[in-house]
C-alpha cells in the first residue's frame, strides 16, 4: 500500500482480512500496523515510526526500489564524458499537485 489517502483505520481493515501488507511511506504521520513498513529515502533510519510490535521496518537507501533494468547495468563498463552532455532525471513522485508541478519544472 502506497499513498497518503490510506488512513490508519483502512490499513487495519486490510490487516483484519488476512493478507500480508507492505506499507510504503516517507513521512511518519500515524501509527502503522502493516507487516512491513518501507521508507527508502535518505535519512529514513533516523525517523521514528509508531509501529505495531510485529511490524518489520526497512528504512534507508539500502532498501531503495530500483527497476531490474538498472540493477543489471554494470557501471564499470560505461564510459563517462567529463564534458557532457549530462542528463539527470529527478522524480518527486506524483501523488499531489505540488509534486506534479515540480516534476514539470
- Per-residue pLDDT, 102: 67
pTM beyond cutoff 0.85: no
Beta bridge partners of 56: 36
What's the Cα-to-Cα distance from 50 to each of 4, 8, 24, 56, rounded to whole Å? 16, 11, 14, 12
Spatial distance between the Cα atoms of 14 and 80, rounded to a whole number of angstroms: 47
Inter-residue contact 1 to 24 (CB < 8 Å): yes
Residue with grid cell 497518503, as numbered in its chain: 4
Tens digits of per-residue pLDDT, 55-105? Answer: 999 999 899 887 777 766 666 666 667 777 777 776 666 666 766 776 676
Beta bridge partners of 51: 32
Amino acid at each position: 500500500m502506497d499513498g497518503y489517502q490510506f488512513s490508519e483505520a483502512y490499513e487495519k481493515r486490510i490487516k483484519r482480512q488476512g493478507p500480508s501488507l507492505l506499507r510504503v511511506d516517507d513521512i511518519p504521520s500515524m501509527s502503522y500496523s502493516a507487516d512491513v513498513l518501507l521508507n527508502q529515502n535518505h535519512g529514513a533510519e533516523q525517523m521514528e515510526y509508531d509501529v505495531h510490535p510485529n511490524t518489520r521496518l526497512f528504512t534507508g537507501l539500502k532498501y531503495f526500489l530500483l527497476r531490474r533494468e538498472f540493477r543489471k547495468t554494470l557501471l564499470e563498463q560505461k564510459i563517462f564524458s567529463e564534458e557532457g552532455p549530462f542528463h539527470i532525471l529527478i522524480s518527486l513522485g506524483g501523488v499531489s499537485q505540488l509534486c506534479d508541478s515540480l516534476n514539470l519544472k
